[in-house]
Amino acid sequence: MRSFGRALAASVALTAAALGADLPAQTADRLYADMAAREAELRRELDLAPQLRAQPPGEASAALLRRVRATVMAYEDFVRRFPRSGHSDNALWQAGVLAANAFWQFGDTRDRTTALRLFGRLKTEFPTSSLVAQIAGHTTRLDGAVEAAGGLATLKAVRREVLPDALRVTLELEREAMFHEERLNGPARVFIDLRNTRAVDALKDAIITFEDDVVRQVRVGRQPDNRTRVVFDLQGAGRHSVYSLYNPYRVVVDFERTATNDTGTPAQRTAAPAQPRAAAEGKVPSPAVPPAAATANAAGGFSLSRQLGLGIARVVIDPGHGGHDPGAQVRGLNEAELVLDIALRFERLLAKEPGVEVVLTRRTNTYVALEERTAIANRSSADLFLSIHANASANAEARGFETYFLNFAPNPEAEALAARENAGSSRTMGNLPDIVKAIALNNKIDESRDFASMVQGSMHERLRKADRNARNLGVRQAPFMVLIGATMPSVLVEVSFLTNRDEAGLLRSQSYRQHIAEALFAGVMKYQNALKKPPVLRSGF
C-alpha cells in the first residue's frame, strides 16, 4: 500500500537534488502538479471501477482502494515537507475529499476517520484558507453516515414481478442506502452491494429460487464493513437496468428476456403471474373500492393539492444554460442549444392539450440567471416546473438519463453534478443559511418526488424503444439552485450524456430529440392523471 507514497516521496528527493535546496517553491510546485496529475488519473479509474474485470471480484476494488490510500498518504507527506507552501491547504483538502470518496465508494470506516482527521487539520493549521468554509458539508455527511438510524439501513424484502418482456426484482429497504452494482460473466450474474445495510433475519444468507425465468435465483449474503450483497444468478437474461424509487425506498432491477438462455436453449418468455399479496398471506382479498377523486401520492397520503382536486393548467419549461453559459460542449454538440430544441418540441406537444398553458424561461440562445428561472415560474403561478439539461462525465462510458427533485445531495455524484449545474448562480456564502432553510422546509418534496418518478418512468418507456442500450439511472435528489424557492412541484431532468459517444450520436438525431420531448410530455400527463383520475387497483408481488 505504501509503494505509491514512497514513489512520490522519492520524486520529492530527486526533484530537490536536481533543482538545488535554494529552490523549495519550484520543487513544491512541480511535486504538487505531479500529485494532482496522478490523482486525476486515479479518479478516472474510480469512475471506471465497475468495468474492471481483469481480477476476480474483490481484488480489483481492493487494489484500487490501496492506491487511493497511498495517494492520500502522499498528499500528507507533501504537507509535512512543505508546510509553508501555498499548495499545502489544497493538499489537505484534496486528501480529505479523496478519503471521504473512498469511504462512500468502498464503505470502510477507516477512510471516514482519515477524512475527518484531515479536514480537522485543514481547519486548525490553515484557518484563513478559503477551503475551510467547504468543510462543514463533508463533515456533516460523514458524521451522519454512521449515526443515522443506528448507522445501518435494513433490507426488508425481495419481491418479484413478471412483466411482458422482463423480470423485475425489487429490494425494499426501510430507508435510503448507497449501493454499487456490477455485472459479471462465467457464470453470468449481477450483484448489488448495499452499503451500511443489514438484512432482516429471514433474508440473512437466504437463497430465493425463481423457476424457469431469466433470474435463476437470488442470493443474499453478508460482507465486511456492514455491506449486504445481493447476487442475481442469470440464465438467458439480456440487458438489465438498476434504479431507485422512494416511499418506501426501493432498489429496482429489471432483467430483459432474450430469445435463448445461457445454455442455448429457448428461454421462457413468460412466467406464472405473481400471487396477490393478500392471497399469499392467506387473507381474503378486499372487494374493489369505489373510484376516488385522486390517487394518493407515493407516501400514501393526500397533499392539499390532491385534497382540493387541483389539476395542471400551466407548465413552465426551463431549457438549461444559454447565452454566455453554453453548458457542456462535446463533439460539436452544445448543451444550451440541444435542450432548447427539446424544450420547443415539448412545448408543441403540451400546447395541443386542452386547458394547458406553457411558459418557457427562454426561447432563444440567451442567458437567464438561475434564480430568475424559478422567479418566472412563481410569477406565472405555474403548476409544474421542469428544467431540462444534458449530462457530462469524465467517464466516457457513463450513459443514461436521470430525474432530480430538490433535496440535499446524498452522494458524491449528486454533489458533483449540483456543483456543475449551479456554477452560474449569483448567490454568495451569505445566502447559505436561507438556502439551507429553503431546502429543509421544501413543502413540495413529496409531490416533486412523485412528479420526478413519473417523468423518469416515461423516459424509460420511450427511450428504450429508440436506444437498445438506454440506461435508467433512476430518481435522485440534489440541491439544484434552479429548483430552490419554486412554489410548485419541480424537477430537473438530465436527458443523456453528451460525453458518451453513442448517446452524443443519438442526440444529433431529430427523431431521438422528439422521443425525449414525447417522454417528458407523457410524464406530465401521468402526473396530471394521478391528480385527477381514479386509481387502478393492481395485485402485489
Q: Could you tell me the domains of the chain?
A: 3-149 (1.25.40), 152-274 (2.60.40.3500), 304-532 (3.40.630.40)
Statement: residue 122 has pLDDT above 60: yes
Over 70: is that where the pLDDT of 427 sits? no
| Max mean pLDDT range (48-52, 107-111, 348-352, 369-373) | 348-352
What pLDDT shows up at residue 48? 47
Distance (Å, rounded) from C-alpha 273 to C-alpha 269? 12
pLDDT at 85 over 60: yes
CB-based contact 469:501 (threshold 8 Å): no
Q: Which three cell numbers stand for residue 123?
A: 481547519
Contacts of 372 (CB under 8 A, 6+ apart): 361
Q: What helix, strand, coil percent values describe the chain, rounded to 5? A: 45, 20, 35
CB 187 within 8 A of CB 210: no
Pick the range with the lowest mean pLDDT from 49-63, 277-291, 330-344: 277-291
Q: How many residues does the chain have?
A: 541
The SS3 assignment for 477 reads strand
- Start-to-end Cα distance in the chain: 47
Residue with C-alpha cell 511535486?
31
Is the predicted pLDDT of residue 128 greater than 80, yes or no?
A: yes
Higher pLDDT: 417 or 272? It is 417
Burial class from Cβ neighbours inside 10 Å (0-12, 13-18, 19+) for residue 515 reads buried
Quickly state the pLDDT bin for 110 (edges 50, 70, 90). confident
Q: Which of 92-96, 240-244, 394-398, 413-417 has the lowest mean pLDDT?
A: 413-417
Q: State the number of CA atoms in the 13 A half-sphere of 530 facing the CB.
A: 22
In the DSSP assignment, the letter for residue 535 is P
Give the pTM.
0.47
Strands 314-319 and 357-360: parallel
Distance CA 75, CA 314 (A): 53
Residues in a beta bridge with 232? 190, 218
Q: What percent of the chain has pLDDT over 70?
A: 70
Continuous segment of H or E residues that includes residue 513: helix 510-532
CB-CB neighbours of 101 under 10 Å: 21
Q: Which helix (H) or strand (E) holds 330?
A: strand 329-330
- 42 pLDDT higher than 90: no
What is the per-residue pLDDT for 17? 41
| pLDDT at 154 (0 to 100) | 92
SS3 of residue 314 by DSSP: strand
pLDDT higher than threshold 80 for residue 419: no
